[in-house]
Amino acid sequence: MKPALLALACLLLASRPAFAYRIFVSNEKDNTITVLDGETLNIVQTVDVGARPRGIVLSKDGKSLYICTSDADHIEVLDLATLTVNRVLPAYKDPEFMALSNDGNTLYVANENNSQVSVLDIPQGRIVSEIPVGVEPEGMAVSPDGKTVVCTSETTSMVHFIDVATHTVTASVLVGTRPRFAVFTKDGDRVWASSEVAGTVAIIDAHSHKILHTIHFSLPEVPKAAIQAVGINITADGKTAFVDLGPANRVAVIDTDTLAVKKYLLVGQRVWHGAFSPDQSLLFVANGVSNDMSVIDVKALEVTQSVPVGQAPWGIAVAP
């Protein structure tokens, strides 16, 4: 290689930022994904995507981000190397949230407007099955063994257990009003499901489908109607859960052994969903009204920073 070309190559390599990890935030009002450098928390790029991006999920190989663009009625695939949308996957009307199968080849998509979960084969790029569930499905999660999918339906106030092999609902569990999010514990034995209007989290036995416990939240200075449980993040060691409480503007910290609330952290306004940094030292949460992302120190249980992002941030994903 000629010296000039070599110098140019070195310059290009040197000028390309080496990210330890990146944070992706969907902004439902301005139709963008904000991309931040996880170390500096500076915005690297703002990517235009389809209308009303909400649920976002990272592919298993970490190379793509799946985006529910709800008002565009499809799912966009953001290539994380080039930060461009390079593929569009089909969906029914108003896809809001989704979960990825453990092999990374199937997306289970909650279609809010037609009361069904669609099963999307990613390599084929087509919907291979539709599973009727309750009205206004939203929260989606896949069990650690990959055999079960759960879906919450907001209007029916249920958590539906779906058998992956047969694509049928095997159990429906009545929970608090307007359940919006569900997550399996790492051992697959329990499902934590948050209910927005009830302001509670139900802990369900994933095998017997019985509710084992319901967590209630109480902030004396905050009206009960403002305590709206939405996103849940459980640490990898399974010891601590963080529950986003919407317009209470708090994240509740829960000891998973005692199921007691240890602390309430004041964050931005209408906190929706969150994601941990790869080393789990930080939790990032999206605040839908204050248009920012709060940074929580997981060990100290303190809010350390607020970072402005786009308009009406909704979902967060972290790519190592």
Name which of 185 and 306 has its Cβ closer to other proteins: 306
Q: Which tokens sit at 62? A: 């970490």
Nearer to other proteins, 114 or 256 (CB): 114
- C-beta closer to other proteins: residue 84 or 177: 177
Tokens of 26: 């969907």
Q: How far is the CB of 165 from other proteins (least distance, A)?
A: 18
Torsion of CA 291, 86, 70, 282, to 10 degrees: -40
Binding interface with other proteins (CB under 8 A): 92-93, 113-116, 130, 132-135, 156-158, 169, 172, 174-178, 195-198, 219-223, 225-226, 228, 246-249, 266, 268-270, 289-291, 306
Q: 106 or 116, CB closer to other proteins?
A: 116
Please check whether residue 153 is in contact with residue 112, taking contact to mean a CB–CB distance below 8 angstroms. no
Structure token digits, residue 99: 């979960």
Residue 178 CB, shortest distance to other proteins, in Å, is 7
Angle at 291 between CA 290 and CA 293, to 5 degrees: 100
Kindly state the helix (H) or strand (E) to which residue 195 belongs, with its residue range: strand 190-195
Q: How far is the CB of 59 from other proteins (least distance, A)?
A: 28
The two three-digit tokens of residue 34, written as one number: 């904000």
CB of 183 to other proteins, least distance (A): 20
Q: What contacts 62, CB < 8 A, 6 or more positions away?
A: 80, 319, 320
SS3 11: helix
Closest distance to other proteins from the beta carbon of 293 (Å): 14
Residue with tokens 């941990």: 276
Indicate the residue among 268 and 315 with the shorter CB distance to other proteins.
268
